[in-house]
Amino acid sequence: MSFSELEFVEWLSGRATKSPSLRKGIGDDMAILNVDGKELFFSSDLLLEGVHFDSKTQSMDLIGRKAIACSLSDCAAMAVKPMAVTVSVAFPSTCPIDGARSLYEGIFALADHYQLAVAGGDTTKWAESLAIDVAIVAAPWKDVKPILRSGAKIGDKLYVTGPLGGSLLGEHLRFIPRVSEAKLLAEAFGAKLHAMIDITDGLSLDLARLCKASEVGATLEEARLDTVTSDDARRSASEDNKTPLEHVLSDGEDFELLMAIQGDVEFYPGPLFQVGEITETGYSLARTDGRVQALEPRGFVH
C-alpha cells in the first residue's frame, strides 16, 4: 500500500528514539543536539535522479552544487553557521570518472565559498540512477540565537526574502542559500523574529508546516504575493494551465526564507517582502477583489 511522505514523517516523529541530549528532533529544518552544554545542529538531504535533477540535461557540477546548497539552506532556515558536511554518492555504473569529478567540483566550489569543510562520506556504483546524500553539521553564530519554526505568534507579519515560483525553469539549480541573510535577520530583529523556514516544497505547504509547529493559522494576501511573483513563474504560467499565483503558492524549490516577525521592519537594510499575517487558526487567501477564501496547503510531496 502506498503512503504519503507527510503521513510517514508524522509516524516517524512519534516513533523515533529519544535521548536526553536531543533538544529538537524531527519537525524542524535541523535537529539540535546538546553536547557538553553546547548546541550542534544536524540535517541530511537525499537527492535523486528524476526527482531533484536530470543528469541527461543538467550538468554534473550544477547537480553537485545543488546538493550542497540544499543543506546550506537548512542552516539558513535556522540562522546557524554551517561547519562541515559528509557527502555520499551512488553513481550509475555507466558514469565516467570525468562525470564524477565534475559532480564533486560543483560540491567543492560552493563548499569553499561558504568555508564549509567536506569532511568525508562514501561513494559506490550500482545499476540504478544517480543518488546523492548530504549530511551537514552547524553551530550557532556568535551572539545569534537560532530560530525555530515553532515561535510564530498571532499578529506577526509574514515575510519572504525574494521572488517565488517557476524554479524548475532552472533556478532550483542556481539558487543562493540565504545563509548570510539569515544571520543578518536574526541579528537585526532578535527576539522579534519568532519563526522561520526555508521554502523547499511550496509556499503554502511550508507555511502550513510553520503554522502547525507554532499552533497558529495564517492569511496570505494575493496583492502582496503579486509583488514577489518571479518572471519564471509568469513564464511557466504562460506555458501551462496554471496561474502565476498557483506557481508562487505550490512550485517549491525557491529556497527563499519565510518568517514571522513582530513589529516594524522599516529599519532592516536588506530586501524583505510582506506576504501575509499570522492568525489564530486556519489558512486563507485574501484575494484582490475582497474575497477571503480557504487556502489548501499544496506543494511537492514525495
Helix (H, G, I), strand (E, B) or coil at 82: strand
Say how far apart CA 199 and CA 205 lie, in whole Å.
Answer: 9
Predicted TM-score (pTM) of the model is 0.94
Where the chain has pLDDT below 70, the residues are: 1-3, 6, 302
Here the cell at position 82 is 554551517
Domain spans in the chain, listed from the N-terminal domain onward: 17-140, 157-294
Q: What is the pLDDT of residue 162?
A: 98
Q: What is the pLDDT of residue 302?
A: 64
Say how far apart CA 220 and CA 47 lie, in whole Å.
Answer: 30
Please name the helix (run of DSSP H) or strand (run of DSSP E) that holds residue 48, with its range, or none.
strand 38-48
Say how far apart CA 92 and CA 130 lie, in whole Å.
Answer: 6
157-294 has the same fold as 17-140: no
Q: What is the pLDDT of residue 5?
A: 73
Torsion angles phi and psi, residue 3, rounded to 5: -145, 160
Architecture of domain 157-294 in this structure: Alpha-Beta Complex (3.90)
Q: What is the pLDDT of residue 22?
A: 83
Architecture of domain 17-140 in this structure: 2-Layer Sandwich (3.30)
Q: What is the pLDDT of residue 55?
A: 97
Q: What is the pLDDT of residue 10?
A: 76
> Number of helices (H) and strands (E), helices first, in the chain?
9, 13
Q: What is the pLDDT of residue 250?
A: 97
DSSP string of 24-80?
E-BTBSSEEEEETTEEEEEEEEEEEBTTTB-TTTS-HHHHHHHHHHHHHHHHHHHTE
